[in-house]
Structure 1
Amino acid sequence: MTDYADEQRNELEALESIYADSFTVLSSTPPSFSITVSSEGGEEEENVELTLKFTYVASYPDEPPLYEIIAQENIEDVDVTGILTLLQEQAQENLGMVMIFTLVSAVQDRLNEIIDQVKTRRQQEKIEQEKEAEEAEKVRFHGTPVTIENFLSWKAKFEAEIADLRRKKQKEDEQSGKSKLTGKQLFETDHNLDTSDIKFLEEAGNSVEVDESLFQDLDDLELDDEDDPDYNPLDLESD
């Protein structure tokens, strides 16, 4: 006949020696204890950790112990569910033998796998970030390749902006009364501009004298009648 109490007592002594820093007795009747399991090989901020609670049933190890996760750190719920499934599988495979060390070792291995996945994912994210930064740097130095489509799009946008600026400028000039006329437009609107300077001087009491010696006598000029825009041969015949 199997002495379950003796087997349980011997296993407890061994577990307390193996997991001295993470083993805690919770109760003696029924025998209950906890073991904290942490991942290995990760950075401090990457470590994952679980605290497992085990309770012996009367016929352990012919029956599996009761187990649950009473604390967890840096581990996702989906991984917790996977670990509970792992414990169930390992317990069924090891019925008839004391199994706590086997169960804890299986959980330890799974936590190490999880931290390796985290490290791989973070390394991949770092590579992707470096690649994106490199591509952005290339774009900054080389610019956008010019194609017919993007050139025409830029040209249409540029012309629209210029037209808008011109409309705004014209509107501002109209509102401020600064609309400018060409010299021709000024004379067309005011025919007195050609004599306005002389009239201004006369009104100011200044006489205007013309030095005729500066002008050549028209009789001395050799002009062809055809150069005269008013020349008409029929007028000469009538005379």
Structure 2
Amino acid sequence: MGREEQIEEREVLDSIFPEEITAFAPDGTDISDTEYRIAVTLNPPDDDEKEAEPPTLVLHVRYPEAYPDEAPILDLSPLPNAPPHPRFSVAADKEQLLKGLEDTIQENLGMAMVFTLVTTLTELAEQLMTERKEAAEREREEALLAAEREENKKFHGTPVTPETFLKWRDDFMREMEEQRQREEEERLAELKKAKIKEPPRLTGKQLWERGLIGKGEEEDEEPPTEQVEKLKVAA
């Protein structure tokens, strides 16, 4: 019963995946009567990595004797000599993809399931690529927003709160007091320099008392009274 269903399923798969299966068996032979491989080419998300070649993974299928009442034995590998893809790696995603097939296997026990497994595998792998594209886009958007926020900081001051206002007022009053003190010190310094350069001016009395005016003239000229007396005697 199981072997008949295996043969029938394989005939259906050959008609659905003629190139995908014969790519590994160009002479029409498989690994064995109960083991074969199917190449699964993925479609990257729209507008994603247009220059990159779409990734392809290889699904290895081996029938146990009781298949389909027993789960098939599956494995994944990359296509030989395939270039790496920035959004997908068989080596990195293999475990997650095989685990993602477990529910589908359990739901389809007793029925031919390889076509369903290929479909589910394709959806899971393409979903991974979509999620990675969206994550990269979010990362780019966050980087742009962060750069924009940094740029906007140049045009916005510190928000005014009672605390920031009180701090500003204290700083302002301190600066004004320091400036007043500096100006006062500068004024006193200027006054001190002025007193040194210009000695105090003396009054006329102080000049006479110090002999700076008047006395020199008295030594050269006689007083006016004595001159008058001399004139009288002569007459």
Query: TM bucket by the smaller chain?
Result: 0.5 to 0.7
Alignment partner, residue 110 of structure 1:
124
Letter aligned with residue 35 of structure 1: A
Query: Which runs of 5 or more structure 1 residues have no equivalent in the other structure?
Result: 153-183, 185-222, 233-239
Distance (whole Å) between structure 2 residues aligned to residue 224 and residue 16 of structure 1: 136
1:28 is matched with which residue: 26, 29, 32? Answer: 32
1:59 is matched with which residue: 35, 58, 66? Answer: 66
SS at match of 1:28: coil
SS at match of 1:27: coil
Q: Is 1:50 aligned to residue 54 of structure 2?
A: no
Q: Shift in Å at residue 33 of structure 1?
A: 2.2
Where in structure 2 are the equivalents of 1:1-239 lying within 5 Å?
2=1, 4-23=2-21, 24-25=24-25, 26-42=30-46, 43-44=48-49, 45=52, 49-71=56-78, 74-75=88-89, 79-140=93-154, 142=155, 145=158, 148=167, 224-227=204-207, 230=210
Distance (whole Å) between structure 2 residues aligned to residue 36 and residue 229 of structure 1: 126
Distance (whole Å) between structure 2 residues aligned to residue 110 and residue 90 of structure 1: 12
Distance (whole Å) between structure 1 residues aligned to residue 5 and residue 152 of structure 2: 69
User: TM-score, normalised to structure 2's length?
Assistant: 0.54
Structure 1 consecutive aligned stretches of length 4 or more whose deviation exceeds 3 Å? 44-49, 75-79, 143-149, 227-232
Letter aligned with residue 96 of structure 2: G
Contact 2:40 2:122 in 1 (8 A): no
Distance (whole Å) between structure 2 residues aligned to residue 84 and residue 54 of structure 1: 12
Contact 1:31 1:55 in 2 (8 A): yes
Question: In angstroms, what is the RMSD of aligned CA positions?
Answer: 3.6
The count of aligned residue pairs is: 160
Contact 2:37 2:58 in 1 (8 A): no
Closer, same or farther: CA 16–229 of 1 in aligned 2, 3 Å:
farther
Letter aligned with residue 63 of structure 2: Y
Q: Shift in Å at residue 6 of structure 1?
A: 3.2
Distance (whole Å) between structure 2 residues aligned to residue 87 and residue 135 of structure 1: 44
Letter aligned with residue 112 of structure 2: V
Query: Which runs of 5 or more structure 2 residues have no equivalent in the other structure?
Result: 80-84, 172-192, 194-202, 213-235
Contact 1:48 1:115 in 2 (8 A): no
Q: Shift in Å at residue 89 of structure 1?
A: 2.6
SS at match of 1:60: coil
Contact 1:91 1:99 in 2 (8 A): yes
Percent identity between the aligned chains?
A: 25
Closer, same or farther: CA 62–224 of 1 in aligned 2, 3 Å:
same
Distance (whole Å) between structure 2 residues aligned to residue 88 and residue 28 of structure 1: 24
Distance (whole Å) between structure 1 residues aligned to residue 145 and residue 107 of structure 2: 47
Distance (whole Å) between structure 1 residues aligned to residue 145 and residue 72 of structure 2: 51
Cα offsets for 1:24-83 (capped at 9, x unmatched): 344133332233242443424496543210012222212221111122862386743222
Structure with the bigger RCO (C-alpha within 8 Å, sep 6+) is 2
Letter aligned with residue 65 of structure 2: A
